[in-house]
Structure 1
Amino acid sequence: MPIQAIHDFLLCETPDSWVAQAVNMQDVLLVDHANCEKKAASTAMNLMYRYVDNFDLLHKMSRLAREELRHFEQVIEFIEKRGIVYDATINAGRYAAKMRKPVRTFEPAKLVDTLIVGAIIEARSCERFAKLAPHLDEELQKFYLSLLKSESRHFMDYLSLAREAAGEDIAERVQVFLALEKELIESEDDEFRFHSGVPTKLASAV
């Protein structure tokens, strides 16, 4: 999938101020990226345990979990190679928790919303890999660009599963979460993380 499709889906681009901070904080970037890959695999596994009668979901989430764990392995290789301390206890930041707040608590709405959130997170990850890559060293740039294909497929898998689970048009619900995501990406954020918003100290320059 071309990156343009991701841009067409999301309501905003990553602010340049976040890219600048990411370049200057690559140790935190890689540690949080590793944790994000672990959590993505865990989310897929949890869905597999919770919705055992959905064979399409089982197949797609099994593949996704394997790929996310492989990405985790690749990121920690970078962390080790570059002499970065891998602090797995680093807090996750606000993004994912706030994205999940509007998720409904009854089925199948809970599944639909959870899958929509998954799609948006994967889309944003893909967008950030593409935007950040040109500013990185050759080795890390090549790695981040290599992730675009799988991340864009994960985005489409989540979105197609959400449509199947709903059995009806989900466009309005998708827009609810996209609007929230836009707010999180464009608003000030005290902590730098892979999915954080505008760095507070640079907010006035955006």
Structure 2
Amino acid sequence: MTESLLAPIRAFLHCKTPARWVDFAVMNQDILLIDHANCEKKAAAAAMSLMTRYLDRTELLMCTARLAREELHHFEQVVEIMRARGISYTVLSPSRYANGMLKHVRHTNELELLVDRLIISAYIEARSCERFACVAPVLDDELRRFYISLLRSEARHFSDYLALAQQYAGGDINDRIQEIGRIEAELILAPDEQFRFHSGVPM
């Protein structure tokens, strides 16, 4: 079942998570959990931002409303795990990942802006899913079960965002998907001075 969920994710992404990132995740589990909580909170905020901006698109409203609820539920779950482990929810600087893609968003017209935001959201969800699968086997039983339990929803979020991008584009957007995918892979494979859930290769 896990492999069937991951197959389209792996086909979509342009690279695998580097082994060095996984090694750092094991050694820095407090940071991993804190930034994971941040990511869930930001994902919910991003979904609500789309809801606020595009009131006339019913499919998007319904999809992002459900997604925001799920992301906030995941946020609560991560914070509860942190509380049980005595991990303080401290402030962390954000990774360069999301902004590294968002700075390439087209602003020629509102439709291109929306499509690019949806494609980027699809990549973020796909990478999250892939990273859960990468790191789960090397964590303790509680975290392994938790991260595996998130795979189905993250895979659905990926496919929902991608389907909305294709629907609203009204044409072939494969070139644009591939272009953003190359940017995403560059961010994942480039050396990174900080370790975060979506960081590049830790230095």
User: What TM-score does the superposition give when structure 2 sets the normalisation length?
Assistant: 0.97
Matched, 1:51 2:54: yes
**What's the offset of the Cα at 1:144?**
0.1
Q: Which residue of 2 aligns with 1:99?
A: 101
SS across alignment from 2:165: helix
Shift of 1:93: 1.2
Map 1:20-169; keep pairs closer than 5 Å: 20-87=23-90, 89-105=91-107, 106-169=109-172
- The amino acid across from 1:93 in the alignment is S
Q: Which residue of the other structure, out of 16, 19, 25, is the alignment partner of 2:19?
A: 16
Deviations 1:63-99 (A, max 9, x none): 0000000000000001111001101x31111001111
Number of aligned positions between the proteins: 199
Q: Per-residue CA shift, 1:91-146, capped at 9, x if unaligned? A: 11100111101101121000000000000000000000001000000000000000
Instruction: Report the Cα distance in structure 1 between the residues aligned to 2:110 and 2:176, rounded to whole angstroms.
Output: 15
Deviation at 1:174, TM superposition (A): 0.4
| Alignment partners' CA distance in 2, 1:157 and 1:8 | 16
Shift of residue 164, structure 1, vs aligned partner: 1.1
Matches of 1:76 and 1:52, distance apart in 2: 31
Question: Where does structure 1 differ by over 4 angstroms across 4 or more consecutive aligned residues?
Answer: none
Deviations 1:161-187 (A, max 9, x none): 001111111100001110001101111
Q: Percent identity?
A: 57
Q: What is the CA-CA distance between 1:5 and the residue it aligns to? A: 1.2
C-alpha separation in 1, matches of 2:188 and 2:104: 17
Alignment equivalent of 2:200, drawn from 177, 188, 197: 197
Q: Does 1:186 find its partner at 2:189?
A: yes
The CA distance in 2 between the partners of 1:184 and 1:49, in whole Å, is: 29
Q: Deviations over 1:10-58 (max 9, x none)?
A: 0110000000000000000000000000000000000001000100000
Structure 2: gaps (5+ residues):
none
Secondary structure of 2:64 counterpart: helix
Shift of 1:2: 1.8
1:2 matched to 2:16? The reply is no
Q: Give the aligned residue type for 2:99.
A: A
Q: CA RMSD in A?
A: 0.7
Which amino acid in structure 2 is aligned with residue 164 of structure 1? Q
* d(CA) in 1 for partners of 2:5, 2:168: 26
Which letter does structure 1 place at the counterpart of 2:103? K
SS in 1 for 2:167: helix
TM-score, normalising length: structure 1: 0.95
